[in-house]
Amino acid sequence: MLYLLYDFLERNHQHLPLLNLLHYLTFRSAMALFTGQLVAVGMGSRFIAWMKVKQGKGQPIRTEGIERHLLEKKGTPTMGGFMILAGLTVGTLLWADLTNVNIWVVLMVTGGYGILGFMDDYAKVTKQTTAGVSSRMKLVVQFVIAGLATAILIHYSPASPESAVFKTSLSFPIFKSWLIDLGVFYVAFGAFVIAGFSNAVNLTDGLDGLAIVPVMIASTAFGVIAYLVGNHVFAQYLQVHFVPGAGELAVVCGAVVGAGMGFLWYNAPPARIFMGDTGSLALGGLLGAIAVCTKHEIVLGVIGGLFVVETLSVAIQVAYFKRTGKRVFLMAPIHHHYEKLGWSESTIVIRFWIIAVVLALIGMATLKLR
């Protein structure tokens, strides 16, 4: 919004020196971070108090889980994702270039998944059950939203030097010129990346602070990637594919980090509120959408490797149990396995954060390994 004001004044030859700062993407990204944090922290206490009144017994906890979860977390309200979504939305709308199609695609996915997550959280709270919206219905809605978002990107995002073929192509890290054109199937691939990562973050959200910090780490990494691939000079130097307009997504990533910091202020152990599916589905979808926008879908699997491992642990557990009647892990997702082994919650969370940082650095290193 402020960028549009700056652009309007520039086109009408009205120069205000202070507004020249809006020309710099780094400045707007930093301000989006600050704004997102301010909004999330500002609404925190009152929002949590209101949620406690509205939700009564809070989020239902799995009865087959860790016993101390039932004792320590019982009565904690959910839907804290609203705080994150409010912060990132205000930060993005205030500081991003709103003529950029990437911004609206990412916000569409985030908002759509946020509404879906809210419906799921609402059903759980009102019925006091861990079963909300059916898994099949959630998947259908997720794929529809993600497919539509991918199709919009293909048709309306700025053309790249590699022509329109690049929009439907899959690029690979390390190999600078290797592209596979998926054609019309790219819509299905993009939908799979967005919906799949949304569910991956959702599965990871099981301990206080476990999901939000890796999301912030991944957002920071993709903010750097978006800035570099959206700048023709840097993209040429690093020998990565230039993606016109992708740089503006650094503002979104900054807003996510800021809103996440604001939410973590209240979600740090012991959590005063959970993000719920309202936040986890939306944030996972946001990361998936940014990966599709920046043409770094495979790198997302590295940077967000923690979420991938959490998802694989569930898939392996279910498949093996159906086949043999036995379990590979004491409990899935894998963070609960370590709880069953006796690890403290803080130990698991901090070690998983460290893993997330290492994976993010490896993912970013692929920019130079060409």
DSSP string, 102-159: HHHHHHHHHHHHHHHHHHHHHHHHHHTSS--S-HHHHHHHHHHHHHHHHHHHHHHSPP
pLDDT of residue 65: 57
What lies within 8 Å, CB to CB, of 103 at 6+ separation is: 92, 96, 97, 248, 249, 251, 252
Instruction: Give, in order, the Cα–Cα distances in Å from 170 to each of 56, 175, 294.
Output: 48, 12, 11
pLDDT of residue 78: 87
pLDDT of residue 2: 75
Taking only the tens place, the pLDDT of each residue in 217-243 is: 999 999 999 999 999 999 988 888 899
Would you give the DSSP letter of residue 160?
P
CA 233-236-237 angle, to 5 degrees, is 85
CA 318-321-322 angle, to 5 degrees, is 85
Residue 171, φ and ψ in degrees, nearest 5: -100, 160
Taking only the tens place, the pLDDT of each residue in 134-150 is: 888 999 999 999 999 99
Looking at the whole model, is its pTM more than 0.75? yes
Cα gap 275→122, rounded to integer Å: 13
Band of the pLDDT at 58, cuts 50, 70, 90?
A: low
Range list of H helices, the chain: 2-11, 25-55, 67-72, 81-95, 101-127, 135-156, 186-204, 212-229, 232-238, 249-267, 276-293, 297-303, 305-324, 334-340, 345-365
pLDDT above 70 coverage of the chain, percent: 86
pLDDT of residue 206: 86
* Tokens at 10, concatenated: 């520039």
Taking only the tens place, the pLDDT of each residue in 3-35 is: 676 666 666 666 666 667 888 999 999 999 999
